[in-house]
Structures are given as structure tokens and as C-alpha cells.
Structure 1
Amino acid sequence: MSQTTPIKITVDKAAIRRIEQDLLHLKNGAPRAMSRAINHTLNVTRTEASKEIRKQVKLKAGYVREKLKVKRATINSLNGAIQTPARGTLLTRYPHRQYKNGDIGVQVKPTGGKKRMPGAFFIRFKNGVQAIAIRTQYGPGLGRSEGLKVLYGPSTSQVFTDVKDDLQAPSGNRLMQRLGYEAEQLLKRQ
């Protein structure tokens, strides 16, 4: 998974202490409320991160959602995270087409059109995945895949690094609101 720095969410420690006191008589009351609030906040933040990522690059929502993995909090471990793989994204994940003259056009940004890449062509890996490549070396004696460069676009982890700062403050507010809601629900059920 990615080595990017996580979203830092600050919480109101006095409010957390009050909730802990209110739920002291329930078994695992405060940890249960906190883990539920953290997990809810992570799911909503993942959705918002996906929207922000798709404002910067033209990827499908399902693909971005698949790449944003949520590490859920538990009663024993009140840590949660949104993680993304650090590997690049093949240009074939972006809208692309082949023109009549053989050039390939790819649209990475959501605005604007496809950018032509003269000399680019499609290749297929052994696992069946199609990619866009260019030849970097010419001449006899080169094997089937020698002298080729597979082309990649911005990965979800690169774009997530850009948008995570914008998500910190709203996520902190959402976490505190949800924590109050979860504590209230636990108190109602007793």
C-alpha cells in the first residue's frame, strides 16, 4: 500500500472526555462509539476523496473507489485509514482512442480533449491487460518486448496526496458530529 502521509484529523479532546464519562457505565461504550464514528467518517471521506480525485483526472468512479481502500477501526484499535496503492495507472484506464493514421489519443484531465501521441501503439500483456507503449530503441536483435516503454498516467495515490489536505477539516468536523450521534444511540439502547 501507499507510503503517503495520512490525513490528520484533530478532535476536541474535552468533548471526547465528556463522551467517555457518559458511556463509562456501558461495556466498551466509548470505544464502540468511537470506532463506529471513525468508520462512518472514513466511508464518507473516501466518497469525497473519490469526487475530488475525479475533478483532477478523468478516471471512472468505480476504478477510483476500488483503489481507495479503507482500513477500518475496531474497539481494540481506534485507528482507521484510507490507503491507496503507490503504483502508476496505465494510460488505457483513461479515455483513449486510436485515430485512422495509427496515432493514439488519451484524455487524462477531465477538461479539454484527447492529446495525440504520435508513434504510440497498443500492446497486450500476458495477463490480457491492454496498455499503450512507445518504442525507445530500434534495430535488429531486439526481443519482442525490448526497447518498449509502457506509458502511465497519474496514479490515484498521487492525486489523493494533492486532495487530502482539503478533506482534513471537514472530516474532523464530521467525526465529532458522528461521535456525538453514536454516543447518543448507545445511551438510547441501554
Structure 2
Amino acid sequence: MSLYIYTKTTEDINIFEGIIDLIRKDNLDIFVSVEHKRNFRELNSIKDEMKKNDILLIGSLKSLGISKVDIANELEYFINQKKYLIIAEIETSYEYGVSQPMNKAILKTILDSLLLNNNIVKLDFDRKSNAGRNKMEFPDNWEELYEKRDNEEISSKKFMEESGLKKATFYNMITEYREILKANKDFVNKYKLG
């Protein structure tokens, strides 16, 4: 049996720890895939690899697609193919155990909520307060530019120009991204996945 953990580069991978402990079984192989928020190649690859009792663990519904239609299509896929999908931010998808009838019912409820737009499942991020600015997302070309800067192929100035970020935002994002990379590395080392 395999557990596939699929996350986006902007997500905190530590949200999966308690869930892994809940479903950890003997001979459970764990695979971690991290992908940019607009790419879904790894997700599609995982779906193709998954066997009957394998489980896919994601952080949020936004890991499945960019739009509500994309997310709905992916949920339908997991329901129709009878493949296990656990969503970390939706506790009911795992808190009572992982069985096929229960998982299918929960995914169907989430899908219905999305299609009927009755707000059982929210896709928008809640703001913690009314003060301050919205958190900026990493630009689409972030990973590519970060790697080039890290390999000293481009300067920080060139990085800022190509990403369209201002200096303070750029350095705040660099710090945040390094923290995400470190957390991901620590997670992989903790579960001996690397």
C-alpha cells in the first residue's frame, strides 16, 4: 500500500504530520511530490500510478485545480475511479478512518457543495483581520528564477525585474520560500523519504 503526498510549493508540508500518523500502517510506502501551484503533471502522474488501496493526501482542494470546474472534475475522477483522496484541511476526509464507502460519500458531499455553491466548502482564503494587505502569491516563474539566482546565473536585481516584484516584497518572499524549502526537507528527512 502506498501513500502519495501531493503539495504545492507554497503550502506548509507540516500539515500532513498528524494525518500520516493516523493512517500509518506496516509496509506503507510514502511518496512526496511538490509542485508549483499552476502545474499538475505530478498529480496526473500520481493518479496514473495509484493502485486500488493507495491513498492520495493533499493539503487543500486548491491542490486539485485552479478553478472550481477543475476541482470538481478531479473530485468526480476520484469518486468514479474509487480512489482514496484525503484532504488535510477537511478533517472529515480522514478523522473517522479511511474506508472506500466513507471516502466516496465525503468526496461526493464536497463535490455537491462546490457545484451548488452552498459554502459548506470554502475555496477562498479567510483573512485573519481586516487590516493589512492580502498575502502575495509567488509569481508563476518563481521556481525557475529562484533556481537561476541560487546558481548565480542571474542577480537579485534581474530576478526582481523578471518577476515584477518590488525590493521589500522580493526579500520577504525569498525568506518565506527558504522556510518552505527547509520545512519540506525536514519533513522528508523525518519520514526518511529522501
Q: Do the two structures share a fold, i.e. TM-score over 0.5? A: no
Higher helix share: 2
TM-score (norm 1): 0.21
Higher strand share: 1
If you compute each CA radius of gyration, which structure gives the higher value, 1 or 2?
Answer: 1
Q: Which has the higher contact order (CA 8 A, sep 6+)?
A: 1
